[in-house]
Each structure stands twice: as structure tokens, then as C-alpha cells.
Structure 1
Amino acid sequence: MAMNSFDIGRELTAVTTGIDAFELTQPDSLLNDGLVPIYLGRGKVEQKTYTNREAMKADLDRLEADVAELASGPRQVFLQGMLKSLRVAVKMASGASPSFEEKVADLVGAPTGREDPAVIEDARGKLDGLLRKSGFVTGGLGERVAAWEEARAVPAEQVETVFRELMVEAKAKTDALIFDTGDYDMKLNPVRGMMYTARCSFDEGKMDLNFDLSFTRAALKHLVCHEVYPGHSTQLLSTKAAFEAGEAPADALLITTDAITGCVQEGIGDQGAHLIDFIEDSDDEIHVELRRVRSAAQTSAAWMLMVEGVPHEDVANYLRTTAMGQEAWVQGRLRMAAHPFRGPFISSYWAGNECVRKVRERVTKAQWPKFLEALYSHANSPASLSMFPQTVVEAH
């Protein structure tokens, strides 16, 4: 008897968490930091037990045959993409070296190649206009960005205070507009020497923040929205609630998997301030365009470094001049791009942001609840989400 979509979701979750558990025990595996960084389904879905990767591949083959029997639509598209993504992950864990292009396309589910330079220049043009409007008129664009960031920088000793203020505001908006997060909270955890700007350490209740960088209030707001409300933490809480209520299949618990789910997860984060209507002033508007420039440029930079063979320092200079990033950010992006497993996921930020943004901007008021259900109660890939108003949501 063919499995239905929910049955497949449970089996997919058992297989994925089984792969995760096995790879955590393999010191030489590229996945030895885990495939599912944050998983809220422990004790709810029994994971598969693996002693070798051939058994994983056999289970993925079997699931692929079951998925092929489903009706065509977003749910099938998501599951097919997820299985393809997991195949690449297992292949890499087995010692194979897929091309960067294959990893971006099949592991991450993002478009390949550099981002269109015209898109980057459009964002730079908008940024230029916004800075001039705010009184930053002296020097080239990079100089004016640096002047704005310096003028608006939150002193290090005040970052936690501003963080707490933004957390209160973002939580109130998220609870009212997206999902009631209850008594969930996150503390600020300053870190240094990391390749990321911020990170959601959900299980520890901490938002790691890279203090090698300076932050404007607008940047801190974006990071609170990205990592916590209504971003990663909120999505984790909402998918868990949907699964426990029987409204979503078990694979809703796999949203943090280093796979095609990552694009939409990062897209929710990067669109977070828009989703809760938290763009308040000219500084927020400046930061939106600056982030667009940097997100698109880092995607191109990774491609230049890993596919085109552009020298490391030339790529660094591209990020300094085109993306106008702080040096710690430039070096962190290059470190991430060069990582054999994490590298292709640098494209998930831009691809995810654009996917969620484009759907969000065409959702009607009447469709908004349906959009939020698909986005916050279920796992998606860029391909499945882009099919809206068709969604992955299925009756059970």
C-alpha cells in the first residue's frame, strides 16, 4: 500500500535524523557537526539507526519511489527536492566531491552563478539616494556607508540594552501578527572570531552576536528579526506546534536541516522585519538596501572564489568595494564560502530572501493566513513556496 504524504514525512524525518545521528559519530565526516543543527522532535519520531551509508541511500531510493506516487504539486516538489538534497549530503559524507555548482543547485536549492550585476547596482543606487536624503553626501558610496555606520553605531556597552528593547518590540509584533511565542526568550551571547554575524543557538536560549563587528540599531533590529522574532526561533516554535497538533507532517521538524529547507528558513529571517511591519524609519530603509547589496554580492563572491578561481584577495576587494562590508564581515564571508560543506549555503540568504519577498509581495490580504500557514507550519523549498497560492499544506 502506497504511503500518503504524512507517512512519507514521518519516514523522511526518521531517515534524516538517522543520518544526522550516524554522521555525528564519524570524526572524518564533513557532516560531523550534524545535519540537523536544531531538532525539536526528539522522542516524537523514532530515528533510523544506521551503521553504513549504503543503507541510507537505499532508504532514500525507497522514499523517492513513494514520493513519485504522490499527486503533483508543491508537496511533491518539496519532497523530491529534499531527497535530492539529502543525496548530495550523503554523497559528500561518503567522501565524494560534487562541484560547487551541484551543491548550490541540489544541496541548497538556490540558483547557480553570480547574481545579476544590474540587481546589485540597482540596490546600490537606491542606497545612494537614501543616504543622500539622510544627509550623507560627502565622498563615494563606500565612504558614505562607512560614515553612516559609524554615526549610527551602537556603543558596545549599549548593545545589550538595545537588543533587549528590540526583542520586546519584535516579540509583541510577532505574537500579534505571526505566532504566539509564549514565554520563549533569548539572551544575547557576545562572541568573536566567528565567520557568521549572528547565530540562533535555540537550544541554549542564546543569540550569538559577533562583536568583531559594529552594529547600527537597524542592523541589530534585522538580526533580532532574523534569529528570533519572527525568524528562526519563531519558525521552530510554530512548526513544532503544528506537528504536535497534527496539522503538519513530521518533516516540519526538519526546517533547520542543512538542505533545501535552509533557503526558506533564511528567507523568513531576512524578510522578518517586513513580515511584522517593523521597518520604521530612514535608517531601517538604508539597512534594507545595504543588506540587499551585501547579500547579493556575497553570493557572487562565493561563485567567483569557488567556481571561477578568482584570487582570494581579488574577491576580498570585491566585497570591500561592491558590498562595502566591514573587514571582519569580508573575512567571515570568505571563510564560509571556502568551507567544503557550509560554503554553498552562502547562496541561501539571497535566494531565500528573494523567494520569500516575491511571494510576500504578491500575497493578497485574503491570502495572508494561508501564506503564514504554509510558511510557519510546514517545511518548504524555494521551488515549493514559489508555487503559492498552491501550497505544501495537505489535509490529513
Structure 2
Amino acid sequence: MTDGQSIGADALGKDLAEITAGIDALYRGGLGTDGFLAREGLIPVAVAEIAPRPLRDWDEVQDALAALMERVPAEAGDAQRQGWLTEMTISLASVSRLFAGETQSFETRLKEQLCVGTTLVPEAVLQGYRDTLAEALGELGYRSGELSADVATWEADTTVSPDQVIDVLKGLETEAQVRSQRLVFDIGDDWITPIGVREKPFNAYCDYPGRQLLLNLGYRYTRFELKHLATHEAFPGHLVHLSRRETLVREGRMPLEGAQVVTSTASSPLFEGIADNGLDLLDWIEGPGDAAGLALMRLRSALRCNASWMIFAEGKSIDEVAEVIAPLSFQQPETMRHRLALISHELRAPFLYAYWCGDDAVHRFLEATRDWPRAKVMEELYDRMHTPTTLAAAASA
């Protein structure tokens, strides 16, 4: 058992995992459509066998979660775990009310389900990314005076030939694996093989059970983008994170709910945020090219949040929003429409906020803990379940 856990906390974890699996089973039973996102359900991946709690209907779900919540103050152990269990239970209760047919505002979904306070990402934040991007591109010699032109030229100059994309990604993944073994966690020779796919609602996806990194060949990729995907999907991102959690749960060093990936919940921002900070975790930010890539990635991620807000809070169509957001992202409207396809599935509507809010939360944590021993930083990130709120508290504790 890790520090702060108790017999009561472990029992809570088992109950939370079984209730979550029961919610997933009830949700899947009501799905009337096929497709990649529908097949994922609420729990796309579980790294341990968890028997679903038999739940007859959504009222019984709410009762089970309310009963669990009542136990948290007395049984959760330390403040971090109490905060995590509280937010995750609130999140599941809100998602379950959505499944039961409750009409919810988009802001409510962000606050209750992802447990983030962001609505629109402020213009000052966006301008900060643009300033960093312009400075880095200037160091690389791109100084036309028009940022959109400089971004287009830089991306064209660094685009990887389509017939080389998989091989380049594999090579970057190999280097990331070596760095991850040394600087994050050594998960042995575990590997995830890059496989090209088409017509999918994502640009890349970690198929952890199948050990495949599915790369959508319908997009073009710069070398930086492939480097980022190697770290996000594999080392030290989803592959390492899930492998670590699988080991800890199996050895009884992490409560059972750590075995589940639960979509569009309080757990989502940290799952994506750890992956999005992979380059930092590997000490692999190499000069202005990577600085430019990170700034552009964060700008586009933030703007996709704002696009989601425009669609779900303001009632605009994806086509309308793509025309507005694409030029701000230095992309074509068709590319933006594809990137927004993920949120066309009801459960995934708020999910793009998990990337930006999670990246921001982990980035802030890493900045605040530069003087911590590296092992302590990695243990806090990977070995404990966090929300942005509990991670911020951990940094300041």
C-alpha cells in the first residue's frame, strides 16, 4: 500500500471501480449505435478484471454513488485521496444523470464531469502562445512579419513524407523509450507498434490491449508532431502510464479504481495532461523547433476548447466554428472539422478540454516542483490518481 492509503481506502477503491464498471455496463446496454466511439463505452480500457456492480437503473446508480460519497470523509485517508474520490464521485454522478436523460449546460458538464473551471481560454493566454511561437520561429529564421505565413512555411519545411511517417514515428518512439526507462519508469521491453489507419475520428490512438499505436494517415505530420505523438501515446505517455497502473494495481500498491480509464470524467485531464507533457518529462525539448511545436500545439488545443464552447454553449455548428477557428489555429477549415469530429459523440462533447486543462495542470505542477527529487515527481504523477485540483494541492503541500 502507498503512503496515505488504508484498508478503508482500498475498500472504497474496490467499490468505486465496481460501481464505475456497473455504470459502463448500463450505459453500453442503452447504446443503439455502432462506431468506434460508441464501442469504447465509458471505460475504453481496464487493466485489471473488475466485476461490474449489478445496477438496475440510473436511480440505483445515484443511490450507490451517494452511499459511496458518505463514506469518503471517514475512510479516504489523506486529503489528496479524499479530494480525488470526492471529485470522481461527483463526476460519475453527473455523467450518469446525463445518461439518464438530464439536460445539462455545457458549463455544468465541464465543472461537474471534467472538474475544470475553464470556459473560454482567455485571449491573453492565446497571445502568450503566439508570442512564444513567433520568437521560436524567429530563432529558426522564419521572420516574414506574418505569423501565419511563417507557421505555414515552417510546417511545410518540416513535414515528413507520407511514405516515411511510420518509420520516423517508430524511430522517435525508440528514442523516447530509452529516455523513459532512464528518467520516468522502466517498464521493460513493453512496446506499442505504430500502425497506419484511415477514416478514424482521431489523429492517433493508443490501443493498449492490442499494443498498437494507431496513426491516422489522413493527416500530414511534421517531425515535431510525430515526436509529440511518440511521447503522448507511448513513452512516457499512455503506454507507460497504463503499464505502471497495471503493475501497481496487481501488486496491491494502487487502489482498484486506478485500473480504469474513464472517459470524460475527473480522471481525464490528468490522463491526457501527463501524456501531453511527455517531452518535458523526458528532458527532450531540444531548441527552438520544439519550443515552437509546443507553443503551436498548446495554441491549437486551447482554440479547440473555444471551438467546443462555441458549439455546445453558443449553439453554433461545427462548420461555422471551423471557419472561425481554423485561421486562428493556422489550419484549414477541413482539418479543423476533422479535429472536432471527436466531440460529435455525446459523451465526448467536453473531452477536448481534458487535453488543454490537463496539459496546463501538469505543466504548472512540473514548474512548481523543479526542486523536488525526480522520483518523487514521477511517483506523484503516475502512482496516485489526481484531478487538476488535487494535483495543484500536491504541488503546494
In 2, Cα distance between the equivalents of 1:77 and 1:180?
29
SS in 1 for 2:196: strand
The change in CA–CA distance for 1:130 and 1:226 in structure 2 (over 3 A counts) is: same
- State whether structure 2 residue 394 is matched by structure 1 residue 388: yes
Q: Which of 42, 45, 48 is the aligned partner of 1:41?
A: 48
Task: After TM superposition, list the pairs within 5 Å mapping 1:225-236 onto structure 2.
Answer: 225-236=231-242
Q: How much does 1:228 deviate?
A: 0.8
Q: How much does 1:350 deviate?
A: 0.7
- State whether structure 2 residue 302 is matched by structure 1 residue 296: yes
SS in 1 for 2:354: helix
Equivalent residue number for residue 155 of structure 1: 161
Aligned residue pair count: 388
The change in CA–CA distance for 1:22 and 1:308 in structure 2 (over 3 A counts) is: closer
Instruction: Tell whether the 8 Å contact from 1:195 to 1:335 is kept in structure 2 after alignment.
Output: yes
Equivalent residue number for residue 252 of structure 1: 258
**Amino acid of the residue matched to residue 117 of structure 2?**
P
Instruction: Tell whether the 8 Å contact from 1:195 to 1:333 is kept in structure 2 after alignment.
Output: yes
- State whether structure 2 residue 332 is matched by structure 1 residue 323: no
Q: How much does 1:311 deviate?
A: 5.3
**Amino acid of the residue matched to residue 125 of structure 1?**
D
Gaps of 5+ in 1: 392-396
- State whether structure 2 residue 67 is matched by structure 1 residue 83: no
Q: Which of 35, 41, 57 is the aligned partner of 1:52?
A: 57
In 2, Cα distance between the equivalents of 1:313 and 1:165?
37
TM-score (norm. length: structure 1): 0.92
Deviation track 1:37-75 (CA, whole Å, cap 9, x = no partner) reads 010111xx4331233222222211110100132456111
Q: How much does 1:168 deviate?
A: 0.8
Equivalent residue number for residue 184 of structure 2: 178
- State whether structure 2 residue 29 is matched by structure 1 residue 22: no
Equivalent residue number for residue 17 of structure 2: 13
**Amino acid of the residue matched to residue 244 of structure 2?**
S
**Amino acid of the residue matched to residue 357 of structure 1?**
H
Gaps of 5+ in 2: 1-5
The change in CA–CA distance for 1:282 and 1:364 in structure 2 (over 3 A counts) is: closer
**Amino acid of the residue matched to residue 311 of structure 2?**
L
Deviation track 1:113-144 (CA, whole Å, cap 9, x = no partner) reads 21010110111111112112212223621121
Q: How much does 1:225 deviate?
A: 0.5
In 2, Cα distance between the equivalents of 1:163 and 1:366?
32
In 1, Cα distance between the equivalents of 2:318 and 2:165?
33
Equivalent residue number for residue 355 of structure 1: 361
**Amino acid of the residue matched to residue 287 of structure 2?**
D
Equivalent residue number for residue 394 of structure 1: none
The change in CA–CA distance for 1:310 and 1:20 in structure 2 (over 3 A counts) is: closer
Q: How much does 1:14 deviate?
A: 0.9
In 2, Cα distance between the equivalents of 1:327 and 1:287?
20
The change in CA–CA distance for 1:255 and 1:337 in structure 2 (over 3 A counts) is: closer
Instruction: Tell whether the 8 Å contact from 2:91 to 2:265 is kept in structure 1 after alignment.
Output: yes
Instruction: Tell whether the 8 Å contact from 1:85 to 1:259 is kept in structure 2 after alignment.
Output: yes
SS in 2 for 1:203: coil
